[in-house]
Amino acid sequence: MTELATLARPYAEAAFKRAKQTETANAWSESLLFLSVVAQDRDLIAIISNPKISKDRKIEVVMDICQDQIQDEAKNLLKLLIENGKLQLLPKITVLYEQYKAEDEGYVNVDLYSAYPLNKAEQSNYVAKLEKKLNKKVNATVLVDKSLIGGILAKAGDKVIDGSISGQLHQLAKRL
Amino acid sequence: MQLNPSEISDLIKKKIENFDANLEAHTEGTVVSVTDGIVRVHGLSEAMQGEMLEFPGGSYGMALNLERDSVGVVMLGAYQHITEGDTVKCTGRILEVPVGEALLGRVVDALGNPIDGKGSIDTDLKSPIEKIAPGVIARQSVDQPVQIGLKAIDSMIPVGRGQRELIIGDRQTGKTAIAIDAIINQKGTGIKCIYVAIGQKRSSIANVVRKLEEHGAMDHTIIVVASASESAALQFIAPYTGCSMGEYFRDNGQDALIIYDDLTKQAWAYRQISLLLRRPPGREAYPGDVFYIHSRLLERAARINAEEVEKLTNGKVKGKTGSLTALPIIETQGGDVSAFVPTNVISITDGQIFLETGLFNSGIRPAVNAGLSVSRVGGAAQTKIIKKLGGGTRLDLAQYRELAAFAQFASDLDESTRKQIERGQRVTELMKQNQYAPMSVAEMSVSLYAANTGFLDNLEVKAVRDFESALLAFMKSEEPALMAKVNETGDFSDEIKNGIHSAIERFIKTSSW
């Protein structure tokens, strides 16, 4: 995992710089998301990792799948990755690309874990609180995790703000 | 403290009542790989160097390598239950250990947990294991002695409070024996002792503890244990743990003595960790900073002045200096002092006590090589009477060594050479001393005085030790006032000199040895 991030970083950085230059950051974002889903497909992985199939043939197959779903420059990146035999980096590149994008546009992607589905008002309330705490705009994704019992848990990259019942129980257990 | 079950449940109830759950914010990472106690963690972007990291199952690790995408962590204790994908939390704390008076008389592990079965340690004080040594302004020069209790050392290689004196020698040359004697001799002096056992057999540690208990020396001693079966990380941090415990006494205007037994094994443990963390190996496969791990540790042994003590205790302790004296031990292989770690530690310390297998096997115990052993600052701290009388001893032995080799070839020796050799033989014999029998300043003074003034010259070499023990017994029973005075003042006035002289003459008349 660590090594993948190191390898993926230059690709993600290059893609983001190019996207910013051509002002197509959102289009790139969509293309990369699509590609990372494609790259995780099991049948495709089998083809890509088969040494008997030539690189040209692999490029043909992947291009066939993508067709018009992605823009031309993303296709170039795809070709480059297949040439270098690094297609498995795509999911990581996507994650890093999103990080660069978020950093540049001044917001953070936060995963909000809640024990039960949140309504709009609750969600915007939490987002406002998080924005105050993190001093940045928050782009929240709500996920439901029953094991939290109650409360919410926010994850922004490495940072975790734990306000869940299960987290408090853990704290209490440690104190005792 | 005994509690009955209802009291326990009351206590727990109270704790739950008072429990104030706050929003917990921390940084998380995930375990990528676990190899031989080294864990690689992805994420943890805000981890600090040396920070404690919390693993599932209540284990802790210490962050040592901070890299771009990952953190290299050494596990402190068990790591068998850690698996890939486990969540690791930052604690925001540098590794801390308990310190304070409550630790005296206890045996603890490298994290300060008691392992002697005597219950929990009653102290709230904690101190980080890595601290910067006192600055230049805070220090004071070494001018008070630490009596080791061995004639050979106190007379020729004196140790002062705040000094770092290396004990170096091959295996089985009595290095630990000197350290244990030093601890036993601190009974009643107010000097607190810390014995750090690194990478040793548990059986030998148990032996040390038993011996100290037998001699009533555990009451002023803390024993820090990282035995051979414990992880390399614990063996690596044990000296720093002991040092923090000693620094507590130093910073509170007291005197402490710490023994690191031994730093060679600590360097081995650190080499293991470094190689597993993939740090580049250097000479003898040690990492580049093996000098620094010892220099930063030994630099913390120091004497600090009264102002600094006052500042550190917030004015509670006034007019008292504090000191931490270190006796690091290094084990050499085949007498090779020019190996990497021995040369490093020799250059860091303020002198060394050099022990030799040859001397040990020929019955000279402690097997101190008087020629190669030095004390660079201890002379200023020596008790006056020992300094006066011990100076002659050193000279006698030096001249004897020079002549002894030469005398083996020559059959006819002139009068003065023969005398010199005979004096040397007797002084060498006198320097022998039994284990666990440290001597007071007065006892040493009497022995040394007898040697210096030639009272031993007419004795058989074999009779020297019997003569000495009989003389000391005589002094103890006949001249207790004089002995007490020497112990108290340490002066070498004419009165004391004449007192000792006439007492020895009286003893010789009894010829009872």
A132 touches chain B (CB under 8 A): no
Please state whether the predicted TM-score (pTM) of the whole model is above 0.95: no
| Mean predicted confidence (pLDDT) in B372-389 | 92
Q: Which residues contact B273 (CB under 8 A, 6 or more apart)?
A: B37, B38, B64, B74, B232, B233, B236
Inform me whether the pLDDT recorded for B286 exceeds 70.
Answer: yes
Size of interface A-B (CB pairs under 8 A): 56
pLDDT of residue B1: 53
pLDDT of residue B2: 59
- B418 flagged as catalytic: no
Inform me whether the pLDDT recorded for A2 exceeds 60.
Answer: no
Inform me whether the pLDDT recorded for B511 exceeds 60.
Answer: yes
pLDDT of residue B438: 94
| Mean predicted confidence (pLDDT) in B327-339 | 95
- A133-176 pLDDT per residue, tens: 888 888 888 888 888 888 888 888 888 888 888 888 887 877 77
B26 touches chain A (CB under 8 A): yes
Q: Which of A150-154, B31-35, B340-344, B423-427 has the lowest mean pLDDT?
A: A150-154
CB-based burial label for B207 (10 Å; 0-12, 13-18, 19+): middle
* In the block, residue with structure tokens 């496969």: B285
pLDDT of residue A111: 86
Tell me the β-bridge partners of B30.
B42, B87
**Is residue A25 classed as helix, strand or coil in its secondary structure?**
helix
* Catalytic position from the list B279, B296, B376, B465: B376
Yes or no, beta carbons of A176 and B68 under 8 Å apart? no
- A87-137 pLDDT per residue, tens: 888 888 998 898 888 888 888 888 888 888 888 888 888 888 888 888 888
Inform me whether the pLDDT recorded for B336 exceeds 70.
Answer: yes
Inform me whether the pLDDT recorded for B195 exceeds 90.
Answer: yes
- B103-152 pLDDT per residue, tens: 999 999 999 999 999 999 999 999 999 999 999 999 999 999 999 999 99
How far out from the chain centre does Cα B318 lie?
A: 27
d(CA A58, CA A76): 14
Inform me whether the pLDDT recorded for A55 exceeds 80.
Answer: yes
CB-based burial label for A10 (10 Å; 0-12, 13-18, 19+): exposed
- B433-489 pLDDT per residue, tens: 999 999 999 999 999 999 999 999 989 999 999 999 999 999 999 999 999 999 999
| Mean predicted confidence (pLDDT) in B253-278 | 96
B12 touches chain A (CB under 8 A): yes
